[in-house]
Amino acid sequence: MRILLVVNAAASSVTARRRRAVEAVLSERHEVEVAATMRRGHALLQARAASRRGVECVAVLGGDGTLNEVVTALAGSRCAVAPLPGGSTNVFARTIGLPHNPVDAARSTSDSLVAGSIRSVGVGRLETHRTGEHARTAEAPRNFVMHTGIGWDAALVDNVERHGWLKRYAGHGLFVWAGLRTQFGGFDRTRPHFSVRFDDGEVVDDGYFTIVLNSDPYTFVGPRPFTVSRAATLERSFVVLTLRSLDTRVLLGAVKAALADREDLTATPDLHIRTDVDGLTVIRHSNDERAEMAYQVDGDYLGPADRLRFDHVPDAVRLVVPEGAAT
User: Is the pLDDT higher at 323 or at 8?
Assistant: 8
- pTM for the model stands at 0.89
Quote the DSSP letter at residue 246. -
Q: What is the pLDDT of residue 12?
A: 79
Which of the pair, 140 or 174, is modelled with greater confidence? Answer: 140
Mean pLDDT (the chain) is 89
The domains of the chain, with CATH numbers, are 2-116 (3.40.50.10330), 124-313 (2.60.200.40)
Please report which confidence band the pLDDT of residue 172 belongs to, taking 50, 70 and 90 as the band edges. Answer: low
307-318: average pLDDT: 97
pLDDT grade for 185, boundaries at 50, 70 and 90: confident
Which helix (DSSP H) or strand (DSSP E) does residue 203 occupy?
Answer: strand 203-207
**Higher-confidence position of 167 and 10:** 10
Contact 307, 284 (CB under 8 A): yes
What pLDDT, on a 0 to 100 scale, did the predictor assign at position 163?
57
What residues contact 252, with CB distance under 8 A and at least 6 apart?
Answer: none
Q: Please give the backbone phi and psi of residue 292, each rounded to the nearest 5 degrees, phi first.
A: -110, 135
**In what helix (H) or strand (E) does residue 253 lie, and over which residues does it extend?**
helix 248-260
Cα–Cα distance, 86 to 97 (Å, whole number): 15
More confident residue, 323 or 96: 96
Distance separating alpha carbons of residues 192 and 210, to the nearest angstrom = 11
Count the alpha carbons within 13 Å of 115 in the hemisphere toward its beta carbon.
14
DSSP string, 59-107: EEEE-HHHHHHHHHHHTTSS-EEEEEE-SSS-HHHHHTT--SSHHHHHH
**Per-residue pLDDT at 42:** 96
| SS3 letters across 126-173 | EEEECCHHHCCCCCCCEEECCEEEEEHHHHHHHHHHHCHHHHHHHCHH
Q: Which residue type is seen at 212?
A: V
147: pLDDT strictly greater than 90 = yes
Task: Summarize pLDDT for 192-237 with one digit per residue, the tens.
Answer: 999 999 999 999 999 999 999 999 998 887 788 889 999 999 999 9
Query: What pLDDT score does 161 carry?
Result: 64
Q: How much is the pLDDT for 327?
A: 56
Average of per-residue pLDDT across 102-111: 97
pLDDT value at residue 199: 98
Q: Mean of the pLDDT values across residues 260-276? A: 88
- The pLDDT tens digits for 57-94 are 999 999 999 999 999 999 999 999 999 999 888 999 99
**Does 127 have pLDDT greater than 60?**
yes
SS3 state of residue 290? coil
The pLDDT of residue 169 is above 50: no
Per-residue model confidence (pLDDT) at position 158: 79
Instruction: List the one residue out of 150, 178, 26 whose CA is nearest residue 88.
Output: 178
pLDDT per position as a tens digit, 175-184 = 565 666 677 6
Cα 294 from Cα 291, distance rounded (Å) = 10
The pLDDT of residue 155:
82
Beta bridge partners of 310: 126, 280
Give, for 259, the enclosing helix (H) or strand (E): helix 248-260
Q: What is the mean pLDDT of residues 233-248?
A: 94
pLDDT of residue 291: 83
